[in-house]
C-alpha cells in the first residue's frame, strides 16, 4: 500500500528527466568519440564567451550572502517561529562537509596545489618561489567562500520557501513569487525542475567519476591492480550497491552515521599528516596563503588576463570549471543543506554554510598540498610527475605510516562516494516526486542506477576531461535559474518587512 502511495507522487518530471538521462547514456555508449568531440567544442565556446559571466555571478552571490548575514532578515527562522534545529551542530557540520565537497576534496587536495606550483601555473613561471607561494592561494580561492556561497544562496531559497513558507521542495516552487503558482505548476515549472535534475545528475556523476578514477589508481598504486575501465566499472557497481542499500536505511540512519564516520577518518589522516609531516612548513604556507587569499580576494574573483591566451586558458580550465562544478552541484547540495538546516536562523545558516566548511577546506589543502610541495621542492619526491589521481598516495608513501594512511584514504573516498550518491538520490527523489520530503525508495534506487550509468559514460568518453566538459555545459542553463531564485527570494523577504519592524 505504501509503495503504491509513493508511486502516486511521482511526477511527469521524473519520467521526462529519466528519459533524457537514458538517451544521453545510450548515445554516449554508442558514439563515445563523437560525444567527446561535441562536448569539447561546446565547452570551448562557453569558456570563450561566458568566463566573464561566471566570475561576476559568483562574486555577486557572495556579496548577496554577506548582505543577508547583516540584514534585518538575518533573524528569520528557516521553519516555524521558535522551531529548534533538527540536528546538532557537530552532525550538521559533518553532513554539510561530506555532501558539499566529498570525493572532490580528496581528489584535488594534493594534485591542485602541485599543479599550480609546478605544471599549469596561474601567474608565475612554473617551479619558481612565486609560483609556489601562489599555489595554495588559488586552491583556497577555488574551494573556499565562492563555492559555499553558491550552495548557501540556493539552500537558503529552498529552506525559506519550503520550511518557512510551506512551499514544496522544488526549484519551481522557489520561483512562485516571480511567476505565480499557476505557471510554476505548469510546463514552465516542470522545465525548471528538469533543468535542476539534469544539473544534479551531471554534477554528482562527475564526482562519482572522479572517485572511481582515484580508487582505481589508488588500488593500482598500492596493490598493482590494473587501473583500467573494467576496474572502474567494478568499483562503481560495488559503490552503487552500497549507496542503494543506504537509501533504504533512511536519511538520519544512513547519511548521518556515514558522514560522522567519514569525518572522523578524514580528520585522523589530516592530523597524522600534520604531525609527522613538515609541520612548520605547513603552518607557514597556510598563514601566508590565507593572507594572500584575503588580500587578493577581489582581484582573483575578477581576473581574466585578456591579453595572455595561455593564462586565459588556465582560468577556463580551472576557475570556470570549478565555478561550473559548484553551480551544477547547487540544486543537489542546496536541497540537502536545506533539509538538514531546518530550525536555523538565516544568520547562523549563512555563517555555518559559508565560512566553517570553507575554513576546513583551507586546512585540508594546507596540510596535504603543502606536504606535497615540500617533498617536491626539497627533491625528496617527484609528486608533480604523478597523475592527478595518485598524487595524494604518492605524497603519503613518503611519511611514516604512509601505507596505512593510504588505505584509510581509499576508505574515505569510498564513503564519500556513498554519502554523496546517497544524498543525491534523496534530492533527485524529492525533485521528481513533487517535492515530497520522503520520496519512495524505488524512485531513489532508479536515480542511483542512473548516477552510476552517467559516471560510467563520462569515464568511457574521455575520463577527467569529459567530466569537466559536461559539468561546464550542464551548469550554464542552471546558472540563470539561480539568478531567478535570488530575485524571488528577495521579493518574498521584502514582503516580511512590516512583520519584522513590528517585532523590533
For the ranges 90-94, 281-285, 447-451, 455-459, the lowest mean pLDDT is seen at 90-94
Q: What cell was used for 377?
A: 621542492
* Arithmetic mean of pLDDT, 128-153: 94
Helix (H) or strand (E) holding 457: helix 441-460
- In degrees to the nearest 10, what's the CA dihedral of 457, 394, 382, 276? 140
For the stretch 358-368, pLDDT in tens is 988 899 999 99
Is the distance from CB of 395 to CB of 372 less than 8 angstroms? yes
Most confident of 383-387, 433-437, 457-461: 383-387
Kindly state whether residue 1 falls inside one of the protein's structural domains.
no
Residues above pLDDT 70, as percent of the chain: 92
As for how many domains the chain has, the answer is: 1
Note the pLDDT of residue 420. 76
Distance between alpha carbon 155 and the CA centroid of its chain, in Å? 13
Look up the CATH number of the domain holding residue 40.
1.20.1740
Domain that holds residue 128: 6-497
End-to-end CA distance of the chain: 50
* Cβ contacts of 374 within 8 Å, gap of 6 or more: 277, 278, 281, 282, 380
* Residue 3 banded pLDDT, cuts 50, 70, 90: very low
Buried b (16+ CB within 10 A) or exposed e, 163-173: bbeebbbbbbb
Note the pLDDT of residue 4. 42
101 pLDDT more than 70:
no
Q: What cell was used for 288?
A: 601566508
Is the distance from CB of 16 to CB of 194 less than 8 angstroms? yes
Kindly state whether residue 503 falls inside one of the protein's structural domains.
no
- Per DSSP, the residues of 80-102 read STTPPPSS-HHHHHHHHHHHHTT
Residues above pLDDT 90, as percent of the chain: 40
| Selection from 498, 466, 396, 486 nearest residue 232 by Cα | 466
Note the pLDDT of residue 178. 92
Distance between alpha carbon 150 and the CA centroid of its chain, in Å? 10
Choose between 133 and 435: higher pLDDT.
133
Give the global pTM: 0.89
Kindly state whether residue 345 falls inside one of the protein's structural domains.
yes
Note the pLDDT of residue 102. 66
Rounded CA separation 329/318 (Å): 16
Choose between 214 and 377: higher pLDDT.
377
Q: Residues in the chain, how many?
A: 504
Kindly state whether residue 504 falls inside one of the protein's structural domains.
no
Is the sign of the CA dihedral 79, 80, 81, 82 positive or negative? negative
* Residue 407 CB neighbour total at 10 angstroms: 16
Kindly state whether residue 376 falls inside one of the protein's structural domains.
yes
Rounded CA separation 22/61 (Å): 33
* Arithmetic mean of pLDDT, 129-136: 92
For the stretch 229-281, pLDDT in tens is 899 899 988 888 877 776 666 554 656 677 778 778 888 999 999 999 999 99
* Arithmetic mean of pLDDT, 492-499: 82
Kindly state whether residue 309 falls inside one of the protein's structural domains.
yes
Choose between 344 and 254: higher pLDDT.
344
Note the pLDDT of residue 39. 85
For the ranges 137-151, 193-207, 392-406, 408-422, the lowest mean pLDDT is seen at 408-422
500 pLDDT more than 70:
no
- Per DSSP, the residues of 327-349 read HHHHHHHHHHHHHHTTT-BHHHH
Kindly state whether residue 264 falls inside one of the protein's structural domains.
yes
* Residue 465 CB neighbour total at 10 angstroms: 15
Amino acid at each position: 500500500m505504501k509503495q503504491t502511495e509513493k508511486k502516486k507522487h511521482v511526477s511527469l518530471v521524473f519520467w521526462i528527466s529519466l528519459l533524457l538521462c537514458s538517451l544521453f547514456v545510450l548515445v554516449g555508449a554508442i558514439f563515445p568519440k563523437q560525444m567527446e568531440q561535441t562536448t569539447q567544442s561546446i565547452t570551448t565556446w562557453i569558456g570563450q564567451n561566458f568566463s566573464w559571466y561566471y566570475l561576476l555571478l559568483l562574486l555577486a552571490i557572495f556579496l548577496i550572502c554577506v548582505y543577508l548575514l547583516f540584514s534585518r532578515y538575518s533573524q528569520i527562522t528557516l521553519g516555524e517561529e521558535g522551531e529548534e534545529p533538527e540536528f546538532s551542530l557537530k552532525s550538521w557540520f559533518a553532513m554539510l562537509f561530506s555532501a558539499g565537497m566529498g570525493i572532490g576534496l580528496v581528489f584535488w587536495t594534493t594534485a591542485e596545489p602541485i599543479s599550480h606550483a609546478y605544471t599549469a601555473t596561474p601567474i608565475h613561471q612554473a617551479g619558481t618561489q612565486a609560483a609556489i607561494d601562489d599555489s595554495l592561494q588559488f586552491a583556497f580561492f577555488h574551494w573556499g567562500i565562492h563555492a559555499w556561497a553558491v550552495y548557501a544562496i540556493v539552500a537558503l531559497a529552498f529552506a525559506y520557501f519550503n520550511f518557512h513558507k510551506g512551499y514544496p521542495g522544488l526549484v519551481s516552487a522557489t520561483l512562485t513569487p516571480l511567476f505565480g503558482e499557476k505557471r510554476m505548476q505548469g510546463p514552465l515549472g516542470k522545465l525548471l525542475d528538469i533543468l535542476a535534475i539534469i544539473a544534479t545528475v551531471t554534477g554528482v556523476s562527475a564526482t562519482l567519476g572522479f572517485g572511481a578514477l582515484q580508487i582505481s589508481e589508488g588500488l593500482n598504486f598500492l596493490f598493482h591492480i590494473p587501473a583500467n575501465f573494467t576496474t572502474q566499472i567494478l568499483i562503481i557497481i560495488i559503490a552503487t550497491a552500497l549507496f542503494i542499500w543506504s537509501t533504504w536505511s533512511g536519511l538520519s540512519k544512513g547519511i548521518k552515521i556515514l558522514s560522522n564516520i567519514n569525518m572522523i577518518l578524514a580528520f585522523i589522516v589530516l592530523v597524522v599528516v600534520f604531525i609527522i609531516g613538515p609541520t612548520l612548513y605547513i603552518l607557514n604556507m597556510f598563514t601566508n596563503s590565507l593572507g594572500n587569499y584575503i588580500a587578493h580576494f577581489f582581484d582573483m574573483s575578477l581576473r581574466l588576463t585578456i591579453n595572455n591566451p595561455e593564462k586565459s586558458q588556465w582560468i577556463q580550465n580551472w576557475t570556470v570549471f570549478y565555478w561550473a562544478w559548484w553551480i551544477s552541484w547547487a540544486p543537489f547540495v542546496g536541497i540537502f543543506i536545506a533539509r538538514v538546516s531546518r530550525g536555523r536562523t538565516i544568520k547562523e545558516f549563512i555563517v555555518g554554510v559559508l565560512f566553517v566548511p570553507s575554513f576546513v577546506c583551507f586546512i585540508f589543502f594546507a596540510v596535504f598540498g603543502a606536504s606535497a610541495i615540500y617533498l617536491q621542492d626539497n627533491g625528496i619526491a617527484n609528486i608533480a610527475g604523478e597523475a592527478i589521481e595518485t598524487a595524494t598516495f604518492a605524497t603519503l608513501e613518503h611519511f611514516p605510516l604512509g601505507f596505512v594512511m593510504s588505505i584509510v584514504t581509499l576508505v574515505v573516498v569510498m564513503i564519500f562516494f556513498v554519502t554523496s550518491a546517497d544524498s543525491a538520490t534523496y534530492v533527485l527523489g524529492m525533485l521528481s516526486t513533487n517535492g515530497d520530503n520522503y520520496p519512495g525508495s524505488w524512485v531513489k534506487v532508479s536515480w542511483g542506477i542512473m548516477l552510476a550509468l552517467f559516471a560510467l559514460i563520462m569515464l568511457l568518453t574521455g575520463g577527467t576531461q569529459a567530466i569537466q566538459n559536461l559539468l561546464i555545459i550542464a551548469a550554464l542553463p542552471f546558472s540563470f535559474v539561480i539568478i531567478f531564485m535570488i530575485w524571488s527570494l528577495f521579493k518574498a523577504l521584502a514582503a516580511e518587512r512590516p512583520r519584522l519592524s513590528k517585532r523590533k
